[in-house]
Structure 1
């Protein structure tokens, strides 16, 4: 969002500066054009009148303050100015010789007129544009850029205000998937955006609660008929048929329980606390070995993470069971990757086709539909594990191992114990 604000501000600054720069350059070009006749002719007439006055009555001219000399005024001769003023004064009827000189500092110009028996020196106004024009232009543009930057930043900040609220609202989504209430303050458009988001949050919360009530009610209502069916199955005389009925009911019960836990975990999570990951992983492996799962424990780095122990244990346990069940055997190791904890779980199973890798986290997903009866589980272990890890700020990645096997890599924020 900051980048969008900067781009909008930059575009506005560029537009303002370009427009003003073009207008200023046009004005500068107009000022630097040849002197207009309205400015030159009055000066030429005044010079012609002074020259005639000096030629007619020199004594009166000296008394009036005119300067006479036997040579042109000292200074650097300006040939181009001399030629231009010679042509201009010729139009006033003067055929004298003229010399335009300038002092070393370039601040004073004089025009010397040859009277035949000497020179009369007259001041010449400098009608050129002021010196240092480019410095003035640079200062003018700097002032424009400064003002345009301030105005553009304020305008861009106001324009992107609602977008910043949206960005902040996404980061404040609670564990239940509902937005945290946003204060309805600030500019009118900001208030309107906050009001709309709060309304959306209320509707989402109502929908989530309704779904929770629906799932809880369905799970509760299913248990009664399932219990009756289990009792009836016990009276089936055929042992093989009875075992099939009881197995199907057990699978149905497992699916119902897993579905209820999946939804419940979306909104409930215990308080986070510091725990030793290496000890937690060791306990999980020991527990699964006692249940006859083939699990091999590798190196375990001493790491500490902040998480709900029950939720994290459930996530890791699901992943290890998945590897030990579908991959025939599981190998577990824990290390510090420089930023956090990296838990690697490998197996010797057939792996997952690359096209189906991301679908492995979908609820009730199985790579081989034909193995639903052969392998236990409801197909929710990976989905539950990923959901818990996401809530803890971690992530999980899957990769196939050559020639056989699957690698599950879990990363979590953690520090060295």
Structure 2
């Protein structure tokens, strides 16, 4: 806006200077207003007073003009009206001059006739002279142009700049709003729409930024709910598999405590899923648990159904966590290892600043190029293990989300001498908060 006004002012000054140089004349022009008429009246009075009475009629006739009529020794009719601006300014100008007559002149505004504007009558007693002055400004054409050119150029420039600015403002507001309206209308028809470019005024950019964030959150929420539903279905397979194995292996493995634990785990998983899809915060209560005992308990459930799981953990390791979430994470990791390997080992130890949980197997492992995809949780791209076994591919993304919620880190590494190792590092701040 400042650049626009500055450029307009510069253009106006250039045009005004060009017009002044073009219209300038050698003869000075009289200034507008009452002064030319007042000076003409004073000059005429001096000329009449300087000649004999016999020649005054000829002088008066010679000095009369259409705009300033000189009447000598003759009464002129005048229907007086309220003074107008021309009458008042001429009276002030005459009183300011040193008039060669006494007393002061009588200045009156006379009514106009049918074809011309009103007159200002100026009457003198000595000598008996009357002047009839038309009530309009006597300014020459070039003078009028020079007098009005700067203001006309300024007003025209301002009007043009304002019009351009308004048109540009309307376009800059209408275009992004149209794009936003189109994006809103076709939002349902797209799976994950691309964000809209943030253009236009700051307020419009703020609206577009908010809409981009909204559609991103909606898409992420939808994916999270789908992944959560599939994750619950995936997690239920582990206790269901154990129950099926207990039934197949007979009475020796049909222990009530194991059956009750698996059934309770399934019930809690379903309760969390129901609370999630009802719109509540799917946040499990945080409790202080012995992580080593939790690892031993989950491993024992697999050992009870004849799964080759070995555990090595330091006792006790207190941790403030979500017990069901940690149980789901351990169960998923051990289940994945048992599916692809003959032996699975679980190690839990304390290091200087962290708690390290490692679940390794002696299976075929996973190619390094697929490990990042395995942690993303994108159900449309399910990485496969080297053995080519078919599976849902949600176990590792679920574990990664649980680890992230516990402020930890997760990595997929090569086990020694073969297989895959899942390393989870949890901060000691969670255990120090217990103390």
Structure number with bigger Rg: 2
Q: TM-score range by the shorter chain?
A: 0.3 to 0.5
Tell me the TM-score normalized by structure 2: 0.37
TM-score relative to the length of structure 1: 0.38
